[in-house]
Chain A
Amino acid sequence: MQADVAIIGAGPAGLAAATVLARLGFTQVVVIEREAQPGGIPRHCGHSPFGMREFRRVLRGPAYADRLAAAARAVGVRIMCDTTATALLPGPVLELSTPAGIAQLAARAVLLATGTRESSRIQRMIGGQKPGGILTLGALQGMVHLNGQRPFSRPVVLGTELVSFSALLTCRQAGIHPVAMVEPGCNVIARGPSWALPRLLGVPLMMQSRITEILGRDRVEAVQIVGPDGTRRIATDGVLLTGAFRSEAGLLAMAGIAMDPDTTGPVIDSFGRLDQPGYFAAGNLLRPVETAGACWAEGQRAAEAIAAYLSGALPDREQGAELQIVGDAIRYALPQIILPARPGWHDRVQLRLARAARGELRLTQMGRIIARRRINARPERRITLSLPAGVTAAPLVLTLDERG
């Protein structure tokens, strides 16, 4: 099989990129999707709002996913569902697993848009036994929204990110009554009025608390929680792990593509290019985690970058400046390799904080501050810093001056 551009992942980023590429005149644009339906994570989100930016109206997740797929198909994009990319080979060439066996797909360029997932129990290093009933929210949403099942009835919820509060709504919808919501930090991570939700639903919010041990042989029976008041054992029949997103990047790691331990995604340059020829990345694979709308916009930019690459118009990746983060306040920043910005591509540094902090964000090159911005933010907030024209290949240093 042959394509102009192959895109792995039919979520908002992948479908947006495919649609733009087809509109730019590429006739062979193929999107590889491992699920039976295109649309990605929004398909599992029964709530709104989706689509404000893309369709100028408020949609629920599944409807939004359908519209993205319909838009791509309308301009001639081929979406191959039930197809899993199993290896990224030089060329670029993709090895695919399909219900009919393995196949290869050669393309002039490949865009990786495989998205994100939540950290597992072991990645969070929670001790204890391994009974049934320990789930991520992603797994729970599938069981509740796609199957109408209820895997537990009174779980402990770990996390206070935005998705953690939507977890409470999913639970409510399924008749599940969480017995506690547990947050290791001093503050609720999510912004805004969601804070009130646990109280409204009668779920105790336990701050500065960690789940240290899960107990139970066949099913979860209890968890041990260490908090400001000491150690407590809470009877429960499940543990719901929410958030702590990380890139779905196993395919990249196996291919030896350079990864960034801070974002958990690949190292990209200003054009979303990876360190293996012909490979690009966009969407939540790049970092945990942005809205569907932000991923959609990123997919569009990636399409423009790929079109420029295929016409030989991109500068060499080697001319880029490496972005270095100094200090412990900044959790990640990207793109990790910065080339002279052009309109429409990654012309800003995106970053997130590791903890709530305020001060002046500074980007320095050869001892000179070339961009600055005052911030007062929590870890959940998306922060960007515009890049000035004339960035050279010397290393760029990003710091947060907390006195400022």
Chain B
Amino acid sequence: MVAATSGFDVAVIGAGIVGCAIARRFAIDGARVVILERGHDVLDGASKGNSAILHTGFDAPAGSLELDCIRAGHAEYLQIHQRMNLPLDRAGALVLAWDEEQQTALPALMAQARANGVTDIQPMERADLLQAEPHLAPEIRAGFRVPGEALIDPWSAAHAYLYQAIAHGAELRCRAEVTSARRLADRWDLHSGAGQVQAGLVVNAAGLWGDHVQRLLTGESWFQIRPRKGQFVVFDKPAAALARHILLPVPTAVTKGVVVCRTVYGNLLVGPTAEEQDDPDCATLVPETLDALRQTGIRILPALAGQEITAAYAGLRPATDEKGYRIRADLSQGLVTVGGIRSTGLSAALGIASHVAALAGGQSARQPQHWPQMPVLAEGGARDWRAPGNQGLVCHCEKVSRREIEAALTAPAPANSLGGLKRRTRVTMGRCQGFYCSAELARMTEGRFTQPLTGGGGDAG
């Protein structure tokens, strides 16, 4: 096991999108940062399943911290994405009203968008909508366009933040669940599955385990995580041609509702559901729900009826007993808590990071010295399979080259599990779901994962 280490300025607990962004900010600002992740690999919790949209914040609660963080995060993503090869598909969103009640709600939503600083929205009549989206069901009544909503890659964004943090000296430890914590005079003493760590400031970004970690640190938690499950279905690539925009429903008080949108990888996804549950560790797929999602998709885009489903996934968002973000700093305790970051975490992560850095004592927001280059995974981008020296394709559905897999296995934070490798390269995520490439992947990754593909080595009897 790793020996005891002292001398970190900041320990970030949780390597989800928010933890990675916070580690990046502190590391760029010159702090010595360690990131403690309980999973085999980064993004193994709430961040692994979301709708991959970069939101403008047009429908966020007015005057909220969430809105500020979304707007700041969105703006910073636009500034930095090209420097790190991160994709940005400026699809724009359409908010769609399918019945009279929803249509009545549109003016208030547009007013809220403008009040939130999203002033470029455009009201659209039925005919405009059908022209903009020829495959939309003819029952559509009205809506409005939000040009600034965009599609991004949720995983390469987080990896880019993490790699940049590492390039600035941060250290990642996986399988490092924090098991006990002690407050010393001027620092924290943390024990984890990957050794002991001492740090001046602890940032609790533990997502679905945020309240648990809070109790571990301070003996109690002022917020309670109430996991909200979201299931998604992913249609095969030919379906992506059916939608140009991100198709949003009129939101309700509880949820943003079921979205239909392309992905940057060239699929089409429908989801999420919003299902309350107690277990923060188990997101199950329910066939009846997936079928209902498929039917919802078909009601919006009737041509989806003839399209195949490639995959389905379920994510948990770390909702809490209140709607807003639960971010609080207690500097006398050396603790910043970042809880309750739900669906908007992907859009807001960079904004949250700046906010946390300011709360922690206002270090100057320095410019990065290093810009890691992320592999291009977006459909239509300069993918490796087009380039010389790619060493041949391993996954043919998603056109993943042997060179890309090797790169993910030797990255600054190398893939430690099949899930981690999928998120870094897209292997096995296509229509055959590993029928073809699993054997080659098992061969290439043998002895290189902490969570190996071949788990049947020992005779379980």
Contact = CB atoms under 8 A, between A and B. Distances in A.
B397 to A, nearest CB: 6
A153 B456 CA distance: 5
B102 to A, nearest CB: 30
A122 B451 contact: no
B285 interface: yes
B311 A150 contact: no
A149 interface: yes
Contacts of B283: 129
Interface in B218-263: 236-238
Contact of A117 (B385, B436, B455): B436
A154 B461 CA distance: 8
B284 A213 contact: yes
B392 A152 contact: no
A151 interface: yes
Interface stretch (B66-74, B190-198, B437-445): B437-445
B458 to A, nearest CB: 8
Given A122-B309, A125-B287, A152-B455, A217 B439 contact: no
B456 A151 contact: yes
A153 B431 CA distance: 27
Contacts of A218: 40, 451, 455
Interface string A226-266: 00000000000110000000001010011010000100000
B291 interface: yes
B454 A150 contact: yes
A143 B438 contact: yes
A139 interface: yes
Nearest to B234: A122
A interface residue count range (under 10 / 10 to 19 / 20 to 34 / 35 or more): 35 or more
A154 B457 CA distance: 11
A364 interface: no
Interface string A65-100: 000000000000000001010100000000001111
Interface in B354-412: 385-393, 396-397, 399
Contacts of B284: 127-129, 213
Interface in A88-141: 97-102, 117-118, 120-123, 125-130, 132-133, 135-136, 138-139, 141
A190 interface: no
A109 to B, nearest CB: 23
Contacts of A122: 309-312, 433
A142 B438 contact: yes
A217 B433 contact: no
Given A129-B283, A250-B397, A149 B460 contact: no
A378 interface: no
B286 interface: yes
A131 B443 CA distance: 19
A261 B306 contact: yes
Interface string A37-72: 000000000000000000000000000000000000
A127 B286 contact: yes
A385 interface: no
Q: Is chain A's binding surface mostly helix, strand, loop or mixed?
A: loop
Given A146-B443, A253-B236, A154 B460 contact: yes
A138 B436 contact: yes
A150 B456 contact: yes
B438 A135 contact: yes
B432 A248 contact: yes
A219 interface: yes
A136 B435 CA distance: 6
Contacts, number: 148
A139 B437 CA distance: 7
A99 B392 contact: yes
B282 interface: yes
B435 A34 contact: no
Contacts of B389: 99-101
B418 interface: yes
B236 A250 contact: yes
A175 B418 CA distance: 24
Given A127-B287, A129-B284, A143-B439, A86 B385 contact: yes
A149 to B, nearest CB: 5
A132 B290 CA distance: 21
Contact of B455 (A121, A139, A151): A151
Nearest to B237: A254
B453 interface: yes
Nearest to A102: B386
Contacts of A154: 460
A147 interface: yes
A253 B238 contact: yes
A219 to B, nearest CB: 5
Nearest to A124: B287
A87 to B, nearest CB: 11
A101 B386 contact: yes
A383 interface: no
A97 B438 contact: no
A237 B460 contact: yes
A34 B393 contact: yes
B265 interface: no
Contacts of B460: 153-154, 237
A217 B45 CA distance: 12
A146 B438 CA distance: 11
| Pairs A-B, 3 closest by C-beta atoms | A142-B439, A120-B433, A139-B438
14 contacts: A99-B388, A99-B389, A99-B392, A120-B432, A121-B433, A123-B308, A123-B433, A128-B284, A139-B434, A153-B460, A154-B460, A212-B287, A237-B460, A253-B238
Interface of B: 40, 236-238, 281-287, 290-291, 306, 308-314, 385-393, 396-397, 399, 418, 430-436, 438-440, 442-443, 446, 451, 453-460
Given A84-B385, A97-B390, A99-B392, 11 more contacts: A84-B393, A84-B396, A101-B387, A123-B433, A126-B287, A132-B455, A139-B436, A139-B439, A143-B438, A147-B439, A238-B456
